[in-house]
Structures are given as structure tokens and as C-alpha cells.
Amino acid sequence: MRDIYIMLFWLSITNKPQAPEQPKEDLPPWVRAEKQRELQAKQGGGIPWPLLLIMSGIIAIASVSSVLLACKHGHLPNESHRCMM
């Protein structure tokens, strides 16, 4: 019985999870950011942000106008929310 306890104790000591290894090359943040920008430039950036800004403006105008039109024509389910147009 003593041997079982010794073996369990030995297994509990030897089977400890090890910490993950740190990368050997710890780069400063500005170097990492520069490498990330270079990688994104190689992959392609997708849609440029000015185009996204214009598209979001168009969508915002369309959504506000559709709500105002629904309000004007009384298509809202609750009549107490009718617009004063």
C-alpha cells in the first residue's frame, strides 16, 4: 500500500503542466506594428476607409428617410408615435 502512495506522489510531482515558452524574439511594439502593416499591405487592405465612410453616410440617410416616410404615412403600429408632419 505504501508503494502506491509513493507512486501517486511521484506522478503528482512529475506531471505538472509546464508554462508555455516565451518567444525568443521579444520585439518592441513599434516594430511589431510595422511588421503587421507590411503583412496587411501584402494581403490587401480591403475596402478603403473613405469609401466605407461614404457608404455608411448613404445608409444612414436612407434609414432616417424611411423611418420619416413610415411615420408620415402612418405605417407605425402604435398611433401615439405619429410624426407631426
Q: What percent of the chain has pLDDT over 90?
A: 21
Residue 51, φ and ψ in degrees, nearest 5: -70, -40
Q: Is the pTM of this model over 0.85?
A: no
54 is written with which cell numbers?
461614404
Q: Could you tell me the residue ranges of all domains in the chain?
A: 49-85
Q: What percent of the chain has pLDDT over 70?
A: 69
Q: Name the strand (E) or helix (H) holding 32.
A: helix 29-43
CA–CA dist 53, 70 (Å, integer): 26
- Residue among 48, 70, 34, 51 nearest 85 (CA): 70
Q: Are the beta carbons of 85 and 71 closer than 8 angstroms? A: yes
pLDDT at 83: 58
What's the average model confidence in pLDDT over 33-50? 82
Listed as own residue / partner, the contacts of 8-17 with beta carbons closer than 8 Å and 24 or more positions apart are: none
The predicted-structure confidence for 6-15, as pLDDT tens digits, reads as follows: 777 777 776 6
